[in-house]
Structures are given as structure tokens and as C-alpha cells.
Structure 1
Amino acid sequence: MLSRLSLRDLCNAAQACRALHQAAQDDTVWQNLAAARFPPATLSLAPYDSWQELVRDDNAAHAALLLPLPDRCCLYRFRAPSYYSECLCLGLEWDRGAHTFRLYFEARGEPDLRQPSGSSLGFCVHRPPPPNRRELQRRLRLLQQRRTQLQRDLAAARAADARSDIVAAEHALQRNAVQTQTAQSEMGRPHELRFADLLTVVRPAGQHLVVDRPGHKLGYLEFDSLHQVDGLLAELPPSYASKHEAEVCGIDAVFCYANPIPVMPHGATVDYEPCILATVPPGASLLSVFKQQGGYVVPGHTLEELAAEGPEARRARWEHLPAEVLQRQPPWMV
């Protein structure tokens, strides 16, 4: 029975009475709990002395935490259908045994796409989130498809001299134009960071790419000591302008591809928009964010999955792109 309990419930049960306390000391109970909680490839006792010690330590020596990053991207600021670049953030892995973080990403663009080693990750005071670029791209693509269909309907109505259908199609085209203009306006609104909100910046300690050719980079950037953000506010002096705001509003982990974090004096020269990877709410920790929104994985297994992907799986990640980019000749995506 005890083997079916969660860690919290098991600890509570062990305090209920002497008999349950003694039963909870059986290491088989903790071994079953570990097997239900962690990936099989991470179930190794060393350096732990018991399964109970492994579970209480959250198997930090063997199991990494992976935070998925859906719809997180860094767009080239001066993009156009004829010159387009974008970096998709795929996941943030916390290898607690090696004390490192790996940001998995895929960047595509023109042959002069820059190397990811110039990227940066910063912690800033949390502010209202910027527009969701991926969702806006999808909306614009659907609006474009809808406009094409409405134009066909209008042509057919005119050919049949169906007055009511002509009026309906014209009104629908007008609504489509307004919706498209609104989405384009949102798409053009930049994500701006204030210098006063910036708490600290971390540059990559290394990288590993499974694809490294002109116009296409796939792999991870490695960062050290990101977990120290949990103690960052305590280390800042009370006079630091943004300390109180960060304590009240929370902290954003912000990534910018191939650029420093875009605040002055670098803001005007940065040519990729930053994206928010994660938000640490007030009073919470980065670990709690990983546990609530992520899951346990074998360290480095995500890189193996990316290396083993076929071309169709990689293409599927880019279906949100504007049709003008996908239809370019020669093909933008090779």
C-alpha cells in the first residue's frame, strides 16, 4: 500500500503512527516510489546509500529536469519574405548532477545566419508578456488562407450575378482585412526591455550542435549557475532600483539569439527579438517552476532525439512560417 503513495503522502503516513513509521523505513517501498517517479535509465543507487536517500534528494545525481518551451522564438527584427531568420527555443534542461543548463534550440535563416555562441540569457523584472509571435504567425497564415477562399467566393458570386452572395463576400473580405491589419500591427510591436529591469546576464559556457551548416543550427547552448537566480534578490543591496519590483512582480528568464540582451547601450544594435523562457513568480523558485511545468528526463537524451529526427519532424516545427517564406524559390528550408 505504501508503495502507491506519493512522496508527500508517504512522509505524512510515516508520521501517523509507529507501525507506519517502521513500514516506511523498508527500502523496497522507496525503490518502488523511485521507479514510478523517475525514468528507468536514471535508477542507479550510486552515489546514494539507499533508495530513500535517492528519492529524498529527488535523484538529482541522475535525473535532469526538462522544461518544454512551446511557442518560444527569437525573430529577426528586420525580417521580410525575401530575408528571413528565426530561432525556435525547444526546451530548457537542468542537469542537476553536472550543475548545468542546456537550452535546446533550432535556428533557420539565410546562409549568413550567425553562430549561436553570441547568444545571451538574462534575468529581468517580470512585466506583461509580449505578443505571442508564433500564434500571430499562425493567425496571419489562417487569415491569408481565408482571404484567398473569400476572393474565390466573390469571383464565383459575380459570375453568377448573385447579389446577396457578392455583398456577403465583400463584407467578409473587409472584416478579414481589419483582422489582418490588427495582427500585423501586433506582430510589428517590438519586445522592449528596460535597462532598469535587468538583474543579471549569463553568456553561454559552451554549445553542442547536431546540425551546423549555413542557414541551419540545431543543438543546445550550455549555461552555468542559472539556479543561482533563486538567491539573486537576497544578494542585491536594498538600494538596487529593481530589487523591490522583482520581489513583487517576479522574475523573467529572457533569451536572445546571437545577441546580448537588448537593453541600452546594446538595444539599438540587437537584430533579434528576445523571448521569455520562463517566469519565476514572487516567492517561488526556479526549481518549483521546472517541477510544475516540466518533467524528469535522462540528461542529454533530448539531444539524442534531435539528432535522430527525420526531415519531416523538423519541417513540422516550421509550419507556422508565412506562406511567402515557405514558397520561396530556391527553397528557404533545405
Structure 2
Amino acid sequence: MRFLRPQKLVPLLLLPLLASASAPIAAQDTSAVSAPPSKGIVVQAVDALADIVYSTIGLDLKGVKVKLAEEAVKAVENDKIEGMIRLTDENYDELVEFEDLTSEEEEDRVWCVLIHGAKTDSLSEMFWKAHLGAKNVSLGDPHELDRVKFARIDYLNVTSVLTRWNVWKPPYIVFVSDRGQTLRFLGPRSIRPEGELLREVLVNDDWKKAPVWESEWAPKGSRGEFMRSFGYYFAIWNTLASRIPRFGWVMLSGLVSQSILRFMHRNDPPAVPKKIVEPVAPAASDKAKAIADAVRKRASEKAKPEDDKSQPQPEGVRTRSAAARK
């Protein structure tokens, strides 16, 4: 397996972006376009990039099994059983923005979309039951909510659409109208997760009283086209990243960090080894020498009387001990 330097790896990752730059990313005029866009644009772009990576470094990204993709397949099968529509990055434009409708049906069409998280999320589970309950209650009268379509979006598997909608945390109930151009969001603080309550909101058109998202990042805002393009490229990156195994991320992070450190220290002078200098005992000062001499002199003076007693005495001098013996 051959590995590329980080300087060559970065342009490689930008190839699909440059290749897809010729494709129109901006929002299309739904009134003028009759045919929906092609399916799986994100998947096709990622497959093309996977082929480039395999031919360059020999890493097979297509053979990596993604757990989230398997869960998405199971979710679609479950939605069909429950009469729900599963919206993804590939079919959203075709089903919502380019739906085949008459002018009267277009005015009345509204999508009741549930954005849910993982199964372990308690709030998502509560909204899941409420959304499903509203759908089941409406089955008693098939004409009661014939203008409403119930759909689900998995927060973990849908990237482009949720990036356009600026949704970063589930759950949400979204009312989509005007071919995806008008959005109304209801979160856990806006509505109780009850199926009967949600059905009444749809039947009485109370959903129209919810505030419309009119930010500059909204579909009709000044930066809506930017969010659409950003969501498109972000979905490509997210799909590619999910195919790379963990050990690949470890290797890539090591290469990137090493390149950053080299770039930051490119102007540093070469390291010079330091000389080891042995410590030398400091020389004694004059004052210390004088004190030592004084101590030695005093010690010698104390020792002189003892030396005198040990010397022999003259002949005419007798000690007391000698006189006592006589």
C-alpha cells in the first residue's frame, strides 16, 4: 500500500468538489422545471471519490460496511408498514420540491415531517409515538387529512436537508409547504407530544399559526442558496467520512498533526547540543580562612599547659608525693 504526503492528499479530497462545480447547485424554479433532478447525486459523487482513493492509495472505501446505512434500510421497511414516507438526501427534492401537483393541490399540500434521533433518545420516542398516533387516528376518515403527507427524517442519516434547515438537534415536528420553501418548526417546548393534539392541529389548520422561519438562512432568505450548496458538499463529506474505518482516521490525524508541527517550526534554528559542565567547588574566602586559623590557634593554646605537666622537674624540687613517702 502506497501512502501520499499530506500536501498531495488535500488536493485529492478537493477533486469531487471541483468536478461537481459545473453541476447547478442553486435552488431551481419549480414552476419552470418539469422533471425532477437525478437521484443519488451525493452517492455518485462519493463513489467517484472512493474510486480515486482506491486507484491512488489502494484503500477500498466501498467495501466498508456502515452500520448507519443498515439501520436506514430497516427504517425504510418499517415506514412502509406504518404508512410513512422516509425522506432522505436523495429523494427529498423529487418528493417535496418537484412533486407532481396541480395548482390547487400545491396550495393545499403540507408535509408533517418528524425529525427523530436515535432509539435511545426519550424525547424522540415520545414524538415518534405522537406522530404515528396522529397518522393512525386520521385513518378513520381517509378524506380528513388527504392534503397532508406524513414523513420521517432520521437525524443520523440525513445531512444535506437538515443542514439546509439549520437543524442540529432532534426532535422536531416540521410543517413543510409551498414546495419546501415555507417551513414551520415545533419543538418539545412548542407542542405536547400527543397524537390527538397533533391531529387537531392539522385538521383545524392551526399549524398555519406557527411562526414561519424567515431568517436570512431560510430557503427564501438571502443566504438560502449558500446553505443549499453547503449542505450538498457537507453531505458528500459526511458520506465519505462514514466509510473510512477508525484506523484510517488515526493515521490521517497523525499525518495532519505532523505537517502542522513542521509548518509551525519551519523557521526555528537547528538545535545545538548543550555542553555538560561539571560543578567546581567554590574557593574559600579570606574571612573563612581567618576564622579557621583562629580556631586552630586557640586549640593549640589550650593544649600547652597539659604538655608542661608532662615535662621532667628540676632535681632540687620535690613533689608532695615524694615528701609524703619519706
**Shorter-chain-normalised TM-score: which range?**
under 0.3
Of the two structures, which has the highest relative contact order with CA contacts closer than 8 Å and spacing of 6 or more? 1
Q: What TM-score, normalized by structure 2, do the two folds share?
A: 0.20
Which protein is richer in strand relative to its size?
A: 1
Q: Which has the larger radius of gyration?
A: 2
Q: What TM-score, normalized by structure 1, do the two folds share?
A: 0.20
Which protein is richer in helix relative to its size?
A: 2
